């Protein structure tokens, strides 16, 4: 039997791009899905498709730059899954504008990217962790980025680096608990965020994107590069 059958999974940013791929893959593993984006309309086509394939699906909406909305989302998701979410896939993110004048600092870019890309995943992780720890099983995946040497995109890059720090410094707390928290670097892929010039197809995020969910070694704080598994 597949190990994730009937596990409850929340995928943030499931309306398109990498999140949609991850949601589809988790559904194929037998998970019950909670699909997030900013509007219910945006996840409706995927929800319809997954339901037609026999998957149990809910859709939820929240603007992740609003911390109060993130906490409301967390409570709604806990209620939908009866108290304990099994898999949290923190995928949603935005990329702030490219500043050719890389020495300019735009505080609003930093504030927005940290709210959506760092604070929201941390709030969601910390909300769901206690119930995961109580049941002795849970998987949290935080989607990061291999971006480097691009100060033109520093607000985005720094928000991901802060998320990496959160995952790595939380990892020791999870040792031996049955709950893991890891990082997934999808690679540079053709999505709305990655743009049309990215070298990789969005589908190449699989099967690597599920590696930190399916791992049974109990290790947290690991950086998983999806492209290491592409075509496997």
Could you tell me the smallest distance in angstroms from the CB atom of residue 170 to ligand NAP?
Answer: 18
Closest by CA position to 144, among listed 112, 171, 183, 115: 183
Out of 40, 71, 80, 94, the only residue in the binding site for ligand NAP (CB under 6 A) is 94
Q: Does 118 bind ligand NAP (CB under 6 A)?
A: no
Q: How many residues bind ligand NAP (CB under 6 A)?
A: 28
Task: Quickly list DSSP for 66-113.
Answer: -HHHHHHHHHHHHHHTTT--SEEEE-----PPP-SSTT---HHHHHHH
Answer yes or no whether residue 212 interacts with ligand NAP by CB under 6 A.
Answer: no
17 binds ligand NAP (CB under 6 A): yes
**Residue 47 touching ligand NAP (CB under 6 A):** no
Q: Which is nearer to ligand NAP, 54 or 197 (CB)?
A: 197
Burial class (CB within 10 angstroms; exposed 0-12, middle 13-18, buried 19+) of 52: exposed
CB contact at 8 A, 67 and 44? no
Contacting residue, 137, 188, 223, 229, with ligand NAP by CB under 6 A: 188
User: Does 89 qualify as catalytic in the annotation?
Assistant: no
Q: Does 91 bind ligand NAP (CB under 6 A)?
A: yes
Interatomic CA distance for residues 120 and 93, integer angstroms: 9
Is residue 224 within the footprint of ligand NAP (CB under 6 A)? no
């Amino acid at each position: 039997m597949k190990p994730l059958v009937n596990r409850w999974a929340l995928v943030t940013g499931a309306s398109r791009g990498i999140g949609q791929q991850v949601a589809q893959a988790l559904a194929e593993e037998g998970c019950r899905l909670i699909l997030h984006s900013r509007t219910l309309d945006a996840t409706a086509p995927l929800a319809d498709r997954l339901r037609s394939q026999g998957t149990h699906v809910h859709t939820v909406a929240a603007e992740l730059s609003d911390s109060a909305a993130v906490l409301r989302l967390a409570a709604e998701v806990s209620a939908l899954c009866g108290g304990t979410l099994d898999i949290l896939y923190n995928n949603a993110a935005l990329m702030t504008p490219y500043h050719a004048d890389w020495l300019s600092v735009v505080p609003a870019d930093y504030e927005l990217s940290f709210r959506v890309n760092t604070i929201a995943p941390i709030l969601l992780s910390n909300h769901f962790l206690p119930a995961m720890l109580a049941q002795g099983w849970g998987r949290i995946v935080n989607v990061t980025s291999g971006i480097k040497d691009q100060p033109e995109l520093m607000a985005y890059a720094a928000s991901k680096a802060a998320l990496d720090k959160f995952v790595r410094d939380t990892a020791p707390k999870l040792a031996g608990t049955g709950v893991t928290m890891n990082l997934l670097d999808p690679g540079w892929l053709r999505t709305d965020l990655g743009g049309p010039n990215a070298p990789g197809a969005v589908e190449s995020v699989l099967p690597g994107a599920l590696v930190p969910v399916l791992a049974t070694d109990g290790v947290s704080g690991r950086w998983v590069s999806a492209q290491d598994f592409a075509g496997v």
